[in-house]
Amino acid sequence: MFHHVKELQFNARVSKPDPRFARLLLEQFGGGNGELKAAMQYFVQAFSCKTPYPDKYDLLMDVATEEFSHLEIVGSTIQMLLTGVNGELKDAADQEEIMILLDGQAAKEGFIHEAMVNPQFGVLSGGGPTLTDSNGVPWTGSYVNANGDLSVDLRSNIAAESRAKIVYEYLMKFTDDPYVKETLGFLMTREVAHYQMFEAALNTIQPNFPPGVLQSDPRYSNRFYNMSSGAEFRGPWNEGVSTQMGETWQYCEDPLAEVESTNGLVDLEPEGTDRTAESVKKADEKLSDIRSEEVNSATPENDIQWSLYKNK
Amino acid sequence: MFHHVKELQFNARVSKPDPRFARLLLEQFGGGNGELKAAMQYFVQAFSCKTPYPDKYDLLMDVATEEFSHLEIVGSTIQMLLTGVNGELKDAADQEEIMILLDGQAAKEGFIHEAMVNPQFGVLSGGGPTLTDSNGVPWTGSYVNANGDLSVDLRSNIAAESRAKIVYEYLMKFTDDPYVKETLGFLMTREVAHYQMFEAALNTIQPNFPPGVLQSDPRYSNRFYNMSSGAEFRGPWNEGVSTQMGETWQYCEDPLAEVESTNGLVDLEPEGTDRTAESVKKADEKLSDIRSEEVNSATPENDIQWSLYKNK
Amino acid sequence: MFHHVKELQFNARVSKPDPRFARLLLEQFGGGNGELKAAMQYFVQAFSCKTPYPDKYDLLMDVATEEFSHLEIVGSTIQMLLTGVNGELKDAADQEEIMILLDGQAAKEGFIHEAMVNPQFGVLSGGGPTLTDSNGVPWTGSYVNANGDLSVDLRSNIAAESRAKIVYEYLMKFTDDPYVKETLGFLMTREVAHYQMFEAALNTIQPNFPPGVLQSDPRYSNRFYNMSSGAEFRGPWNEGVSTQMGETWQYCEDPLAEVESTNGLVDLEPEGTDRTAESVKKADEKLSDIRSEEVNSATPENDIQWSLYKNK
Amino acid sequence: MFHHVKELQFNARVSKPDPRFARLLLEQFGGGNGELKAAMQYFVQAFSCKTPYPDKYDLLMDVATEEFSHLEIVGSTIQMLLTGVNGELKDAADQEEIMILLDGQAAKEGFIHEAMVNPQFGVLSGGGPTLTDSNGVPWTGSYVNANGDLSVDLRSNIAAESRAKIVYEYLMKFTDDPYVKETLGFLMTREVAHYQMFEAALNTIQPNFPPGVLQSDPRYSNRFYNMSSGAEFRGPWNEGVSTQMGETWQYCEDPLAEVESTNGLVDLEPEGTDRTAESVKKADEKLSDIRSEEVNSATPENDIQWSLYKNK
Amino acid sequence: MFHHVKELQFNARVSKPDPRFARLLLEQFGGGNGELKAAMQYFVQAFSCKTPYPDKYDLLMDVATEEFSHLEIVGSTIQMLLTGVNGELKDAADQEEIMILLDGQAAKEGFIHEAMVNPQFGVLSGGGPTLTDSNGVPWTGSYVNANGDLSVDLRSNIAAESRAKIVYEYLMKFTDDPYVKETLGFLMTREVAHYQMFEAALNTIQPNFPPGVLQSDPRYSNRFYNMSSGAEFRGPWNEGVSTQMGETWQYCEDPLAEVESTNGLVDLEPEGTDRTAESVKKADEKLSDIRSEEVNSATPENDIQWSLYKNK
Amino acid sequence: MFHHVKELQFNARVSKPDPRFARLLLEQFGGGNGELKAAMQYFVQAFSCKTPYPDKYDLLMDVATEEFSHLEIVGSTIQMLLTGVNGELKDAADQEEIMILLDGQAAKEGFIHEAMVNPQFGVLSGGGPTLTDSNGVPWTGSYVNANGDLSVDLRSNIAAESRAKIVYEYLMKFTDDPYVKETLGFLMTREVAHYQMFEAALNTIQPNFPPGVLQSDPRYSNRFYNMSSGAEFRGPWNEGVSTQMGETWQYCEDPLAEVESTNGLVDLEPEGTDRTAESVKKADEKLSDIRSEEVNSATPENDIQWSLYKNK
């Protein structure tokens, strides 16, 4: 259950209207890495861990709710940056007078020119935010990643916070308004904080690699296929040992030859690893038991109830 | 700024898992008339009336926040209806044993069959809600209508509540679970309540017809064009007087003839109305002055701030 | 069955080309509140009432057909506003000469600059309308609301006409071309006319509230939840009696407390209303009988035929 | 300007309801190769040839209008195939009685089962067509191809008619209803007719290859790059002369070697063709003059008017 | 299996950065007629003809792979046209200094101005290509036409190449950079080459009209319905004989009258053709046998394998 | 430049047709975490690092090309799982005979029933893969994350590989075909390998936290806001020190109170950190210099060329 208080989480202000920056800022309102995406992603992920992982549920709802509050900050800032547009549009009959708008400098041509910045500010939203990215493309549910597995979802969140952070960083290049920069700085910093929260939560899940339950096939887990020839490089991603599993990278110089000589890789033998089909099977079964038990034991099969009420 | 409490606004429960109904219920989670649409529509509309119309802002945020809380109820119910799916998926290694799932009756074939109901419950979301409609189409920002004018936005909301109501009504035909019906009944009723709130708010705005500021051209406002011949009917929509403006409907039997004889309607004269071009112009100017003043007077042009903090 | 005559319903003209306004006007061609949306919405709604409600079918097809005719007016105007672009593009080999285009003032740089207004006018459509909104986002079927219930659909239409009206009103701020303003004035006025037609049709359906068939739960239909605290307001939407049902609003100051003390609202008792669970059940059954009979009696179950032909 | 008559162009009938086939048939209502796509494609293309190519405008509007009429046939058929669903939904209160629905055989479980076919028939549209494809994906304006050049647009139409034809052919495999097959046969045949109309129209444009105005570079127009090695085939697409320009195909066995030896193809010399850079330039200029003159001469630069009215 | 070499198929270069043209060029990167659409269309079509039509499979994969290589050329060109943007964004702390960017002439205002060209170059992609069209609309799988029938698919490809060709032709109007024009000329010419390849392949399939297997109904295959009255024209599309089937066009002046007098066209008799229901049935059966045999005989029903490996 | 060899990278086989699993497998063909998404994401990211970071360019192109090869494996498998559908559809005339299809057991009803699994296999694609997810939703460019910064992009890739891995894991629960499981196991394992490659590459970039260039504001980087009250938990994400920056988490029990007492957080002082506004500014400037130099120094400002050809 949500509750709203009228004050913003951060004291968002703008020095003067700036429809151009309002357009850019839409990227964080209705864009693919924006605040609505973050809020909805954590909110949707939370459902599946409510019962089995209540601590992660608490974390996800804390951050989701903060992101909704950030969405409100971004929308408010866009509205303030568009000050004057709505009032001008309401002056619908008065076409002949000189328009005093947008920091005083604009007559009709200027108003039209500004409208080109984002036509929908002028002809659709009446000078308010639209649920789109900076190009006017509507927000879509396909931005949201929620896969019902915390070792995956938390990694999705770490990446999402990284993208949100860089977009705020880029945005700061396009405004000189000290108030707006202050707000952007706050929002950018919170992505850095959330990143570390999700990372810490991921670390509490052990093992968390590979993500999910199943281990991987030792024949294919440490091979590097050189699919792109010319200007080739070697680095820790194709020589030495792999980061998580400590297997030795096998560099395949000529993938086609390997494919043809191994009946399409089916006949390949594991190299550079101690794992075997047998050890994998055992690990798969063990983790399957643990994870399915965690989930199943937490949920009754009938007469399921979400909340218990204190005063019941 | 939002706040979340872990309890749901309504005590949502399910008697037993039902993946088929979970799929149908997605229509109100990520569908075009669902709870997220409602929540986001009122939330986005609220920005433009925060300063000039604080009472409507309060109403919009009250209902928006309640709709977020309903979104949570719907998502929780879907999660409960999918009980067992996530645990089964986590049992990733254990393919050979008989699966005990979904009210006890299903072996592997059954599990696969259920997966066909909505494949993404099985292979994407791990048995949780997806931000899609009942066909798996992602939610889109284009569902949201917010036009920066309360006489328009409140009408959009009345229609939105009507659609949300009928979808809940339809949904009730597809479940026998008394707990689920109870929850659906609560949610459906709240749409009825919200409808009347928005209607009452619209009534406090006078004049509120036509929506917006500009009046309409008396030559064209009361003509009915019979564009679809055969099986024709007369009714209060094309005879007698019009509902809001009290003009007398002019029924045009043969639109093509009228168009050709009036130079493409340009030479048409007003009939069945007292309004004239002159009276319209005067009304336009008067309302323009009022509405633009309402908006402009409420907002400073520089150093704009959204919230004032009590303890500042 | 449709028929087309080459003349437009309204004598659309433009004084001179104006690619910028052409872009804005796309909002009413392929945008979410534009003419195609209106035409398709009424056309799709019409199918379900063809047999049981032939008078409403006639109305919906009359207006749908007029909206298709308006779509043609809008598209023609965009084409005229882009005069010169197509011819210029066809002059594909002739890059070196000075281009005489767009009211005489533009050389190559100007042509490129104009192209930025909407790139697809220049590189995709060859200077004609695209089936997109003013930002280039393609029209989508999700704009269309058709729910198989006239008490819902007509309300959707009233709201749709309101939005279409305000967009025309906004558009008029962005052009000085008297011909274009004349066309916009006609189109805007027709939305006002259609609004009243749909409202009149809705009034002939009794009862029409709540939309659909089912009544609402008297425990929840008149409660107002104060979900958004700070800067609170009271008004006819949360005090006095509700607009349609005449129940007394119950203002809930502290929703969380109420939720906790009523077992998640399940134990709440009705207040401020005479309705009871019993009276609701009776009303539901009565209206169910009437509405299902209206629909079922009008349609044979086998050998169903849509049209009867006069000369058969 | 459009006009509608209540009778369908074809006497569409169904023997009995069949929600499964209704779902499949959506592919031709709101799908990517369906009737709305065709109608809108020709309608949008028509704008740019109204003045310079009035004969093609006439053709495009004739076919566009017929496709709208076919859309109506498809929608009507879907509605008839869903007979019973709407009436059942209106019987909202009556959950306990045995439902007599869908050819008599179905009780509640059957109704729910049918709903799974396409949930939106049950919970959204009330048993009518939705503007989606057979998977519920909304129709989108991106289906429409209109590029402001008849030598391109007519080819897009030939391909579109081909696709529409095969979808009707496939659909016929999934119904045994003789009435429905009759309707599908009519609609399929009309695609075959339209195909030949567009082809005939394309033939009247000379030259019509390459599409558009510009010729092609003789160095690259007749080379075949063997980019996909193994199981290679030779045929008239890479040996002998090319279909339209009569140049001799040059088969490049080893594209990488050619690219490296020609400074990225820049230094390649024309082979197997008589065309030269010079001859191309001349042809480009000549056709540019013709085509741009055709368009420009037909349109005034100011005070542009779309229709002339007979009785003016 | 794909392989990549670091060199581009064509030596793409740019004289100097030009973010405006970069935006336009997105139309061929992530737009509806761009290189990714072409590549994916041929790639997806190829799957169904791998076994029964290996020569067409070879052709489709050759061209698909070339289109992927063209996609790389287009993306590289966009990246080069945006030179300077990424470096400038990385200079995140240094707001006060004069920015030296974009051919030397731009200070901060200029940088912001350029950002408006396509905001996502500035705030999302960091100065690289986005998978969108020139308006920022994301590429969608609905661009791809693949219908499992070569007589249809090859026609879709001919049309697709036509559209791609005209878009390159249009694009050349918007740049003076000789390097860029050279690249565009190469890419445009390859569309002309591919067009003729697909046409030649189509010609090897006999019969290939009508597309697919089923013939058409002789009652409806040669009728022209004059659905759009006023300014009517006659041409080879509605008089004389039809292009492919050689039937005589029957011009129906008054479609409504015909529909009404023939019981909705059901009672119409064939005219202007020698074909009969009988001859059609025979042809349908014959071609059904041939085509289904071609497909079925090529594929085993069990233990199906895609590739055979040389060294197995 | 790409090259294709006809053999698959892995020897994909199926035991027998299975249209239901074909539908599920679409999730990895045209779904949001599927192979096309991965291929396009790495391919698009590669453009911006071609010059400044050639080692990462090599890695990204190696993996992108492998993912294209996996896309081909997935598509081939879907095609094989649909064996029989295309041949059956080609038998277009032969409706009366008993159909022998799909492992021998299915007559017409069975064929129709299977079609319901995914209607587009039957009526659109002719029994081949569609570029959609398992619900038929078209692939969209918005799945692709490419932000022009390797410290962000590599994290996006790590998360993308995690999601792809879990989807393969889930898919394995829905098939018993040992060949298909073998293929899925290979593909799943490669995601595990790629994950570790991207992680190793990220580790070579120092510093890589925070992602991008700018540091974060020490006032807000280590605060945890308890936005979601009830059932609260403490863990390493809100107590102790943060994972990357080693600052001490500050737990804010009552965010509203803090907001109100600090003028909307503007007056908050840093706690639990040694960083200051001064130290942040210095770090920002230093990293700005390094990163912008890396990018700018690698690219000429004029006459930019992508590839150098060996034999030039």
Among the listed residues E89, F266, E23, the one whose alpha carbon sits nearest the alpha carbon of residue A168: E89
**pLDDT computed for residue A311 by the predictor:** 59
Q: Which two tokens stand for residue B202?
A: 């619209």
Tell me, what amino acid is at D73? I
Instruction: Write out pLDDT tens, residues C226-272.
Output: 999 999 999 999 999 999 999 999 999 999 999 999 999 999 999 99
For F311, name the nearest residue in chain D, comparing CA atoms only. Answer: D261
Cross-chain residue pair E119–A228, CB shorter than 8 Å: no
Instruction: Write out pLDDT tens, residues A241-261.
Output: 999 999 999 999 999 999 999
Instruction: Write out pLDDT tens, residues D139-176.
Output: 999 999 999 999 999 999 999 999 999 999 999 999 99
Cross-chain residue pair F312–D263, CB shorter than 8 Å: yes
Q: What are phi and psi of B4, to 5 degrees?
A: -125, 135
Q: In the Cβ-directed half-sphere of B219, how many Cα atoms lie within 13 Å?
A: 17
- Burial, D206: exposed, middle or buried (Cβ in 10 Å; 0-12, 13-18, 19+)? exposed
Cross-chain residue pair F261–B311, CB shorter than 8 Å: yes
Among the listed residues C224, B302, E310, the one whose alpha carbon sits nearest the alpha carbon of residue D229: E310
CA distance A77 to B306: 8
Q: Which two tokens stand for residue F141?
A: 């460019």
**pLDDT computed for residue F299 by the predictor:** 85
Looking at the DSSP bridge assignments, the partners of residue A251 are: A224
Predicted TM-score (pTM) of the model is 0.96
* Chain F residues with CB-CB distance to A152 below 8 A: 162-163, 165-166
Instruction: Write out pLDDT tens, residues C194-239.
Output: 999 999 999 999 999 999 999 999 999 999 999 999 999 999 999 9
CA distance F300 to F292: 14
**pLDDT computed for residue B117 by the predictor:** 80
Of B102-106, B276-280, D272-276, F170-174, the poorest mean pLDDT is in B102-106
For A48, name the nearest residue in chain B, comparing CA atoms only. Answer: B128
Q: Which two tokens stand for residue A283?
A: 């690990």
Average pLDDT, rounded, for chain F: 93
Cross-chain residue pair A197–F266, CB shorter than 8 Å: no
**pLDDT computed for residue B97 by the predictor:** 45
Provide the terminal-to-terminal Cα distance of chain F, rounded to the nearest Å. Answer: 17
Cross-chain residue pair E95–A173, CB shorter than 8 Å: yes
Cross-chain residue pair D4–B261, CB shorter than 8 Å: no
With cut-offs at 50, 70 and 90, classify the pLDDT of residue A306. Answer: very high
Give one word for E186, left, alpha or beta, with left for phi > 0 and alpha for psi -120 to 50: alpha
Determine contact: D278 vs chain C, CB below 8 A: no
DSSP-derived pairing of the beta strands F13-14 and E304-305: antiparallel
Instruction: Write out pLDDT tens, residues E183-195.
Output: 999 999 999 999 9
Cross-chain residue pair A230–E132, CB shorter than 8 Å: no
Which D-chain residues 110-129 have CB contacts (< 8 A) with chain B?
111-112, 115-116, 118-120, 122-124, 126
Cross-chain residue pair C189–B66, CB shorter than 8 Å: no
**pLDDT computed for residue E48 by the predictor:** 96
Average pLDDT, rounded, for chain E: 93
Which B-chain residues 65-84 have CB contacts (< 8 A) with chain C?
65-66, 69
Determine contact: C296 vs chain D, CB below 8 A: yes
Q: What is the mean pLDDT of residues E266-287?
A: 96
**pLDDT computed for residue B98 by the predictor:** 40
Cβ(D24)–Cβ(F119) below 8 Å:
yes
Cross-chain residue pair D116–B23, CB shorter than 8 Å: yes
Instruction: Write out pLDDT tens, residues B185-197.
Output: 999 999 999 999 9
Average pLDDT, rounded, for chain A: 93
Determine contact: E7 vs chain A, CB below 8 A: yes
Q: Which two tokens stand for residue A38?
A: 């973050």
Q: Any residues with CB less than 8 A from the CB of A150 and at least 6 apart, and which? A: A49, A53, A56, A201, A202, A205
Q: Any residues with CB less than 8 A from the CB of C138 and at least 6 apart, and which? A: C30, C131, C132, D140, D141, D142, E137
Cross-chain residue pair C231–A6, CB shorter than 8 Å: yes
* Chain F residues with CB-CB distance to E126 below 8 A: 48, 147-149
Residue A80, min C-alpha distance to chain F (Å): 17
Cβ(B224)–Cβ(B252) below 8 Å:
yes
Instruction: Write out pLDDT tens, residues E53-98.
Output: 999 999 999 999 999 999 999 999 999 999 999 999 999 986 544 3
Determine contact: D99 vs chain C, CB below 8 A: no
DSSP letter for C135, please. T
Q: Which of C78, C91, C304 sits opposite D14 (nearest CB)?
A: C304
CA distance E163 to D45: 13
Determine contact: A94 vs chain B, CB below 8 A: yes
Cross-chain residue pair F166–A147, CB shorter than 8 Å: yes
Which C-chain residues 168-197 have CB contacts (< 8 A) with chain D?
179
* Chain C residues with CB-CB distance to D34 below 8 A: none
* Chain F residues with CB-CB distance to B138 below 8 A: 137
Cβ(B212)–Cβ(A92) below 8 Å:
yes
Complex ipTM over 0.90: yes
**pLDDT computed for residue D192 by the predictor:** 98
Determine contact: E253 vs chain C, CB below 8 A: no
For B306, name the nearest residue in chain F, comparing CA atoms only. Answer: F264
Longest dimension (CA), chain C: 84
Cross-chain residue pair C229–A5, CB shorter than 8 Å: yes
Q: Which of B32, B255, B260 sits opposite D310 (nearest CB)?
A: B260
For B150, name the nearest residue in chain A, comparing CA atoms only. Answer: A126
Cross-chain residue pair C301–D84, CB shorter than 8 Å: yes
Is the pLDDT confidence value at B11 over 60? yes
CA distance A142 to A161: 17
**pLDDT computed for residue C270 by the predictor:** 97
Contact partners for chain E, using 3 or more CB pairs closer than 8 A, are A, C, D, F
Q: Which two tokens stand for residue A215?
A: 């281990």
3-state secondary structure of A312: coil
Q: Which of F24, F231, F262 sits opposite B123 (nearest CB)?
A: F24
Is the pLDDT confidence value at C95 over 60? no
Cβ(C36)–Cβ(C43) below 8 Å:
no
Cβ(A177)–Cβ(A18) below 8 Å:
yes
- The percent of residues in chain E predicted with pLDDT above 90, rounded, is 89
Cross-chain residue pair F47–E76, CB shorter than 8 Å: yes
Is the pLDDT confidence value at A210 over 90? yes
Which A-chain residues 21-50 have CB contacts (< 8 A) with chain F?
32-33
CA distance B300 to B285: 24
CA distance A20 to E112: 9
Looking at the DSSP bridge assignments, the partners of residue F101 are: F106
Cβ(B115)–Cβ(B102) below 8 Å:
no
Contact partners for chain C, using 3 or more CB pairs closer than 8 A, are A, B, D, E
- The interaxial angle of helices C19-30 and C54-81, nearest 10 deg, is 160
Which A-chain residues 137-156 have CB contacts (< 8 A) with chain E?
137
Q: Which of F1, F6, F116 sits opposite D231 (nearest CB)?
A: F6
Cross-chain residue pair D119–B134, CB shorter than 8 Å: yes
Q: What angle do CA A158, A161, A164 make, to 5 degrees?
A: 155
Determine contact: E311 vs chain C, CB below 8 A: no
CA distance B67 to B80: 20
Best of F40, F306, F309 to substitute, by most chain E Cβ atoms within 10 angstroms, is F306
Instruction: Write out pLDDT tens, residues A84-122.
Output: 999 999 999 865 443 444 444 445 667 677 677 889 999
Q: What angle do CA C123, C126, C131 make, to 5 degrees?
A: 90
Cross-chain residue pair A260–E310, CB shorter than 8 Å: yes
The count of CB pairs under 8 A between chains D and F is 94
Cross-chain residue pair A86–B148, CB shorter than 8 Å: yes
Q: Which of E136, E307, E311 sits opposite A137 (nearest CB)?
A: E136
Residue C182 vs residue D115, higher pLDDT: C182
Among the listed residues C219, C216, C211, the one whose alpha carbon sits nearest the alpha carbon of residue C281: C216
CA distance D203 to F306: 42
Best of F237, F238, F309 to substitute, by most chain A Cβ atoms within 10 angstroms, is F237
Is the pLDDT confidence value at E145 over 50? yes
- Burial of C187-201, coded b for 16+ CB within 10 Å and e otherwise, reads bbbbbbbbbbbbbbb
Token pair 């150098």 is found at F308
Determine contact: D51 vs chain E, CB below 8 A: no
DSSP letter for F142, please. G
Cβ(F172)–Cβ(B92) below 8 Å:
yes
Average pLDDT, rounded, for chain B: 93
Q: What angle do CA B126, B129, B132 make, to 5 degrees?
A: 120
* DSSP one-letter string for D112-129: HHHHHH-HHHHHTSSSS-
